[in-house]
Every structure is written in C-alpha cells, then in structure tokens.
Amino acid sequence: MYEPEQRDGSVPIAVQLLRRACLALDMDPGVAKREIRKALEVLLDSVPRTPFDLPVHGLAPWQARRVVDHVLANLDAPIRVEQLAAVTRLSTSHFSRAFKLSFRISPHAYIVGLRLSHARALLSDSNEQLSQIAAACGFADQAHFSRVFRRRVGCAPGLWRRERRSHLLNDPVTPIENPAGAQALHHHRFDLPHLAGADDVAA
C-alpha cells in the first residue's frame, strides 16, 4: 500500500506503464497485459480506501430497524453509540455518519427524543412518581430527567403533567398525544423541537 506521500507519484508511474503496454500491444500482447495490470495496481494502491468504506447512503433498512428495536427495548438503560454500531455491524464512526444521513439527527438526539416521548406517555397515562418515570426512561435520576425535559419541552415535567391533565378535563375530545406518534417510532422519524446535546443521554 502506498503511503500518502507516495500517492502523488503514482500517476506518472501508471502513465509510464501504460505507455509500455501500448508499445508492446502489437508485438507482445502478453507483455501489454502485464503492464496494464501493473498500472491498475499502482492506481488502486494510491487511492485512500476509507472513503469507499463509508456508508454514504445511510443505514440499510435492516440496520435502521435493528437500531430502533434496540433503543425501544432498552429505554430504561444506558445506550451507547458503540452498542448501536455493533447491531448494525459498522464501526462507531461509520455508524454515526450513516445514522445521521438516515435519521437527520445524531444518535444521541434520537435516543433523547424517544426517552422524552416515553416519559410524556407515562406522565399522561400514569400516576407514577417523577423519580420512577426518570428511571423507566433511562435518565440518570429525577434531576437529570427534569433538566432535560425542561430544556426540550419548555417546562418542568410535573407542570407539564398538571397542564396536560387539566386540558384533558376541559377538552376531553382532543387526544393527549398524536395518534400517529407510536407509528412514527417504527418509521424511524421523530419530530424534535431542536437537537439534543450529548449530555442529554443518561450515562
């Protein structure tokens, strides 16, 4: 494999080999073929391989499904990018690039969005304490949950619960959540008000 400093000289070498091939083409086709093969090897060796290994078209459908299934099955536990990369059989760096191409947000932001969606459902439909909801949704503790919720939703989770229930009592016809919300999880989309930072993911 040619080192980066050798790549600049690979084209002249390939050109020279191809010229030899042209000269030998009529007299000795076998020699011409060997020279062409050498030129091809020089050119291939001079090309950095990494860009061709990148998933430039994002995750394949089966990879996206595995990621979503893994996240939904482990919302109550820490989820690392390395774990998600493993289920897609990609390196961590390649996975992160492919994920962002497919989902339009980072893995961290997507996980936080799913955690908060689950938290809103629990706040609406249960009487569980905030500390229990925080644990069920994978946040480090109630303080962490409240901080992320306030940052993303705009108010504290307790206040959100009271206002949501008050709204339900005053207008029972209006659904608490978008009926398509559950389907959105499996269609690999999430309507987030703004991207989450890496510190939003429970450690």
The per-residue pLDDT of the chain, averaged, comes to 76
pLDDT for 166 beyond 80: yes
pLDDT digits (tens, 9 = 90+) for 104-150: 999 999 999 999 999 999 998 889 999 999 999 999 999 999 999 99
Question: 198: which 2 tokens?
Answer: 């890496």
Query: In the prediction, which pLDDT does 182 show?
Result: 38
In this prediction the pTM is 0.59
Tell me which of 5-14, 53-62, 91-100 is least confident: 5-14
Q: Greater confidence, 44 or 65? A: 65
pLDDT digits (tens, 9 = 90+) for 11-63: 677 677 777 778 877 788 788 777 777 766 666 555 444 444 444 579 999 99
pLDDT for 80 beyond 60: yes
Q: Greater confidence, 181 or 13? A: 13
Residue 102 confidence class, pLDDT cut points 50, 70, 90: very high
Domain locations in the chain as residue ranges: 4-48, 52-203
Fold of the domain built from segment(s) 52-203: Arc Repressor Mutant, subunit A (1.10.10)
Q: What is the mean pLDDT of residues 82-107?
A: 94
pLDDT for 191 beyond 60: no
